[in-house]
Structure 1
């Protein structure tokens, strides 16, 4: 088991928040924009 490092941003503009829309086999979900670092 390992920990995956990631960094996310909370971006607010005119009382709105920026999210990314994503989809997998379970359906649609939303995340804050950002990225991650893969192990190794």
Structure 2
């Protein structure tokens, strides 16, 4: 069962990181608006 807990934690950390990236990206997009759009 430890493995499942580790998997859940990794997934949660990954989602949290994605949220931070999304927020930073939307903030950047707001600042630059149109510029070099990278995906």
**TM-score normalised by the chain length of structure 2:** 0.26
Higher helix share: 2
Which of the pair has the greater relative contact order for Cα pairs under 8 Å at 6+ separation?
1
**TM-score normalised by the chain length of structure 1:** 0.26
Higher strand share: 1
